[in-house]
């Protein structure tokens, strides 16, 4: 199978790493007594003078050592490069308000961080198979220092091509990390860990890929389409050059009445209006917008499968589903802990299996 199960990230209370410095044993300064014997007063004065030199010498050594230590062994927080297993403070260069609940934030990536996008690793720890056009969808973790919790956020663009990470972050009631991000201003820093693999896919192994999402669940698909069509040096260039792109169908629910349709705005070049204009995707990508009451409709799924008569036997069709549990369950069944779970609901009734359906949190 060409997919790897996405990472299931839960709320984590992180242990704060505290650097403990063992105090060295204090110097023992002996009190020299003068005896009314052969010791002279001059000898006693010399000893007292030497005793007074020790504290000065200790302070001088500390005065030289401490600055030198900070110079050659800087604090880890000063390291700005991204790391999957370690948090670093990253500067947010742009924050755009998309709605009263959604903000688009931009984090630039430095040269050293690019290695994680140029040669991304998968969930199994191996590097992606670029020669066979494997694409890895990634996310990052953002933390709240106040409560020491972290949350995953999937970026919507190809960082390797854009030299930056862009994400749409929704603030929900009680969401601590979302609150922190929504209170940021341009130039502020935020604790980031990543990039981390979400799932990987070999697009050229399929004749058609159908993506179904709602809200910010569209983020992994926007990233996938951006990487698929980008001009970066990653392996997807071969897909474009050889014209091996599969047919692509993105089905995205419209927001509820009165809510901002941010994914259909012109605020970012990774959003829907720009995708259909990209020459690489123009003849391959179809975008369908539907209302919520139209969603649980078997006819909609059948229409997306036109041209694939014997779907039960056709292994070259892939459904990627990123929906909340209340919508995912009637469509294909919910994800179970640490595994995909059986395909039930509408897609199960149509005879689709785990080989053809992949669920995303």
Is residue 110 domain-resident?
yes
* 180 assigned binding-site residue: no
Give the pTM: 0.76
Please check whether residue 262 lies inside any domain of the structure.
yes
Query: Residue 24 domain-assigned?
Result: no
Total domains in the fold of the chain: 1
- What domain range is 349 assigned to? 88-360
Report how far residue 105's alpha carbon sits from residue 107's, in angstroms, rounded to the nearest whole number: 7
CA distances from 30 to 27, 46, 47, 220 (A): 9, 14, 10, 70
Mean pLDDT (the chain) is 78
* 152 in a known ligand binding site: yes
- Reading the chain (361 residues) residue by residue, the pLDDT tens digits are 445 444 443 333 343 333 333 333 333 333 333 333 333 444 445 445 455 555 555 545 545 544 444 333 344 444 589 999 999 999 999 999 999 999 999 999 999 999 999 999 998 889 998 888 899 999 999 998 777 889 999 999 999 999 999 999 999 888 888 888 999 999 999 999 999 999 999 998 999 999 999 999 999 999 999 998 875 544 455 555 556 788 999 999 999 888 999 999 999 999 999 987 876 787 889 999 988 877 777 788 877 777 665 555 556 899 999 999 999 999 999 999 888 999 999 999 888 999 999 999 8
Q: Is residue 288 part of a domain?
A: yes
SS3 325: helix
- Name the nearest CA neighbour of 224 among 120, 82, 107: 120
Q: Is 168 marked as binding a ligand? A: yes
Does residue 65 lie within any of the structural domains? no
Please report whether residue 25 resides in a domain: no
- Provide the CATH number for the domain around residue 200: 2.40.30.10
Residue 4 lies in a domain: no
Is 177 annotated in a binding site? The answer is yes
* 317 marked ligand binding residue: no
151 labelled binding-site residue:
yes
- Is residue 313 in a domain? yes
Q: What is the pLDDT of residues 91-126, one digit of tens each?
A: 999 999 999 999 999 999 999 999 999 999 998 889
Q: Are 182 and 293 in contact (CB under 8 A)?
A: no
Residue 142 CB contacts under 8 Å (≥ 6 apart), including other chains? 150, 151, 153, 169, 177, 180, 181, 190, 191, 192
């Amino acid at each position: 199978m060409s997919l790897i199960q996405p990472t299931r990230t839960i709320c984590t209370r992180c242990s704060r790493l505290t650097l403990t410095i063992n105090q060295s044993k204090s110097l023992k300064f002996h009190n020299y007594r003068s005896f009314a014997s052969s010791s002279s007063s001059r000898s006693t004065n010399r000893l007292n003078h030497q005793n007074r030199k020790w504290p000065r010498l200790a302070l001088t050594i500390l005065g030289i050592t401490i600055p030198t230590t900070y110079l050659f062994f800087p604090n880890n927080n000063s390291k700005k490069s991204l790391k999957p297993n370690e948090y670093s403070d990253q500067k947010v260069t742009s924050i755009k308000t998309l709605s009263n609940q959604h903000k688009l934030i931009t984090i630039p990536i430095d040269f050293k961080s690019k290695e994680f996008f140029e040669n991304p690793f998968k969930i199994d720890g191996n590097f992606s198979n670029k020669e066979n056009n494997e694409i890895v969808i990634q996310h990052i973790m953002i933390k709240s220092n106040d409560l020491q919790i972290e949350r995953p956020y999937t970026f919507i663009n190809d960082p390797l091509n854009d030299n930056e990470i862009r994400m749409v972050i929704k603030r929900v009631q009680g969401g601590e990390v979302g609150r922190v991000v929504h209170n940021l201003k341009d130039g502020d820093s935020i604790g980031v860990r990543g990039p981390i693999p979400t799932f990987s896919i070999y697009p050229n192994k399929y004749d058609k890929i159908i993506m179904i999402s709602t809200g910010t669940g569209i983020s992994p698909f926007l990233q996938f389409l951006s990487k698929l069509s980008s001009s970066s040096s990653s392996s997807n260039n071969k897909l474009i050059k050889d014209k091996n792109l599969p047919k692509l169908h993105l089905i995205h629910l419209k927001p509820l009445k009165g809510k901002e349709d941010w994914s259909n705005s012109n605020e970012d070049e990774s959003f829907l209006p720009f995708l259909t204009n990209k020459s690489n995707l123009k003849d391959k990508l179809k975008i369908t917008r539907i209302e919520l009451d139209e969603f649980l409709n078997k006819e909609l799924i059948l229409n997306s499968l036109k041209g694939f008569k014997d779907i039960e036997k056709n292994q070259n069709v892939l459904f990627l589903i990123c929906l909340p549990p209340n919508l995912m369950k009637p469509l294909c069944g919910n994800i179970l802990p640490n595994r995909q779970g059986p395909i039930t609901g509408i897609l199960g009734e149509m005879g689709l299996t785990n080989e053809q359906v992949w669920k995303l949190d």
